Homo-oligomer: A and B are copies of this chain.
Amino acid sequence: MFSNLSAGALGLTLDHATAIDLAARHGFGGVDPDLEALRALGGADAVAEHAAAVHERGLEWGMGGLPIALDAPAAEFREQLMALPEALTLLRSAGVTRLGTWIRPMHEQLDHRQNWRLHLGRLSLVAEILADHGLRLGLEYIGPKTLWSTERFPFVHSLREMRELIAETGASNLGLILDSYHWYTAGETAEDLAGLTDADIISVDINDARADRERDEQMDLDRRLPYDTGVIDLPGFLGAVRAAGYTGPVKVEPFLAELAERPVDEVLTDIAARLERAVAVG
């Protein structure tokens, strides 16, 4: 696994060139791709040239965002499907192999089984189109009870459910986004991660939780930097990820507004050090 700079996940607004430069200077192993920036390059040749330059700076690609909303109304989903191949072709030209999205863990109208069918059908279709372009898709389950309990029908909010959803699609290019924060809030342990392999994991996020809240009181958008409070058993989490033989990006997604107010270099020095610790231990 390698440390990855995901500016968006840190709440930083960096243009793509700056992000790449900062990632290289701070010793990250990778950086997230930016679809809009790739588009602005104006063509497959320029994209390939850009990707080669990023690679020469010692950076791998992290994970891009899936440009389609799985739970949109059918007409909107169809529109997004129309636009999909252009984006996938562009990402593929740049050598990107990982896309990701999260699954909304509740719904006001659709009960668990209805929502399952919706996601299963849409995911199967999207996964096959991504496979045609050589891309894998990571799915993130959301653990905090303060989120999944806010609407009438809770949906997937645990690793086991997500693995079953992926298995039912039959797609070999779907995998997990494992975030220590969701793993902790879902009440899971290292044992729940046993048996996973590199092929099962698309991306890994490490975060810590507030020390002054019980597990079921933790809020999805109010986290702590990894190793801050020690609430979350990061060594246990990362040990299981290492046991899986995971080779992909590891990033931090703390939802801490204050990061954007500190000097960027200071923030990235801090984040890079935390990720190095994780990658070394993990």
* Chain A positions near chain B (C-beta within 8 angstroms): 73-75, 77-78, 81-82, 84-85, 111-114, 116-118, 120-122, 124-125, 128-129, 132, 145, 149, 152-154, 158, 160-161, 164, 167-170, 186-187
Interface contact B128-A73, CB-CB below 8 Å: yes
Contacts of A77 in B (CB 8 A): 125
Known contacts A120-B121, A154-B154; A128/B74 CB under 8 A = yes
Contacts of A75 in B (CB 8 A): 85, 128-129, 132
Distance, CA A259 to CA B190, complexed state (A): 51
| Closest Cβ neighbor of A125 among chain B residues | B74
Distance, CA A186 to CA B161, complexed state (A): 24
Least Cβ distance of A75 to chain B in Å? 6
Contacts of A161 in B (CB 8 A): 111-113
The 5 closest A-B pairs by CB, nearest first: A121-B121, A74-B128, A112-B112, A149-B149, A154-B154
Interface contact A117-B168, CB-CB below 8 Å: yes
Distance, CA A74 to CA B126, complexed state (A): 8
| Closest Cβ neighbor of A111 among chain B residues | B161
Distance, CA A41 to CA B161, complexed state (A): 48
Contacts of A186 in B (CB 8 A): 152
Report which of B78, B120, B160 forms a contact with A117, defined as CB distance below 8 A.
B120
| Closest Cβ neighbor of A123 among chain B residues | B121
Contacts of A78 in B (CB 8 A): 81-82, 84-85, 125, 129
24 contacts between A and B (CB under 8 A): A74-B124, A74-B125, A74-B128, A75-B85, A75-B128, A75-B129, A77-B125, A78-B81, A78-B82, A78-B85, A78-B125, A81-B81, A82-B82, A111-B158, A111-B161, A112-B154, A113-B161, A117-B169, A120-B121, A121-B121, A121-B125, A152-B186, A152-B187, A153-B158
Distance, CA A160 to CA B216, complexed state (A): 28
Contacts of A149 in B (CB 8 A): 145, 149, 154
